[in-house]
Structure 1
């Protein structure tokens, strides 16, 4: 993996991510779902904030989050360029490329979707709508992948949670989130290969 291949990977992920989001926005109403398998559903939701639907409170919370993401993507981009310049391992470059692509995919939603689409509430959204649902930097991130691997009621003998409805895995996410998760996973599980010691680096270069 080198810088050119990393850029190709980023472009491919961004293309798949945005095509899937645009399709969902223009073909699904908000909260509409299709069951593909018992453990996999296409469920259209919109995320106004961070992961797991968390939000930054206040009038400018959403704007602050979007601006923070823009600053972060610049840092990730520099990390990728600097790692390539230093001939870092292919695993590290691939992981950074995945994280960059995922972050950029969600940034596009946050920055532009508010001025491109109209509301998805009780209707399928129109692209390049005359009356968009938001403003620049105030778009909502589109999520659609749901994997309820187990859904049912917990045993009544369990303290506090007994008898309550439970879903595993509950979060709804998108291609961009998946890319970020894979990138972080590579850094965690292949940490030694991603960040080799100085002696190994010198051996690889020589």
Structure 2
């Protein structure tokens, strides 16, 4: 359990420092070319993965509460399973998943009251609207508790080209791979979840060779 706490803490530190830096130094929508195929691009996500959202601020609050419940479930199962599963194939990935979940919940709960500017829901347009300028962490708040937006900045447009005009449907359109912008917390969830799936036999086998059944 100590290893889970340590890994979770380290990932959260990296995640939150990167988010605070981008939020307080970048304009919304600004991007910086790092390696050509890798950019730091500041966007704010009011909802789930890949920018999906629903229900305006009410949906945002519900989503934050559901994430807290999920974190509670993860902690419960870690506490239960770690008594039998002490291998690193389980401990490290599950700690990454936990850290990622907590990292994005922190944004949703606290960022609306920590920063003076942020993406907010407009009842008039029935959509989330961005802002001008660079935000400050002065605790004046741009919305309220549980209504903050998740800060994303990692962008990997590895392949970019225009489809030939003679192709049906996509002809002439500009294509980028990989388009979604994400953050350290998202990366931790993805790497942790993928590792648990790939090494599931080793991860869910106890020291005495018994496979954990669900």
What TM-score comes out, normalization by structure 1 length?
Answer: 0.91
Corresponding residue for residue 201 of structure 2: 192
Verify the 8 A CA contact 1:56 1:65 in the aligned structure 2. Answer: no
1:97 is paired with a residue of what secondary structure? helix
Corresponding residue for residue 151 of structure 2: 142
Unaligned runs of 5+ in 1: none
Q: List structure 1 runs of 4+ shifted beyond 4 angstroms.
A: none
1:85 is paired with a residue of what secondary structure? coil
Corresponding residue for residue 182 of structure 2: 173
Which string of whole-angstrom CA distances, capped at 9 and with x for unpartnered residues, describes residues 85-135 of structure 1? 2234321121110000000000000000000001152211110232x1110
Corresponding residue for residue 49 of structure 1: 47
The within-5 A match list for 1:2-41 is 3-41=1-39
Distance 2:49 2:16 in 1: 18
* Residue range with higher mean Cα deviation, 158-167 or 176-185: 158-167
RMSD: 1.7
Verify the 8 A CA contact 2:84 2:206 in the aligned structure 1. Answer: no
Unaligned runs of 5+ in 2: 119-130
Verify the 8 A CA contact 1:154 1:166 in the aligned structure 2. Answer: yes
Verify the 8 A CA contact 1:119 1:133 in the aligned structure 2. Answer: yes
**Larger helix share, 1 or 2:** 1
The within-5 A match list for 1:124-135 is 124-130=134-140, 132-135=141-144
Corresponding residue for residue 73 of structure 1: 71
- The Cα shift of 1:181 comes to 0.4
- The Cα shift of 1:31 comes to 0.5
* Residue range with higher mean Cα deviation, 116-125 or 183-192: 116-125
Distance 1:65 1:103 in 2: 12
* Residue range with higher mean Cα deviation, 22-31 or 154-163: 154-163
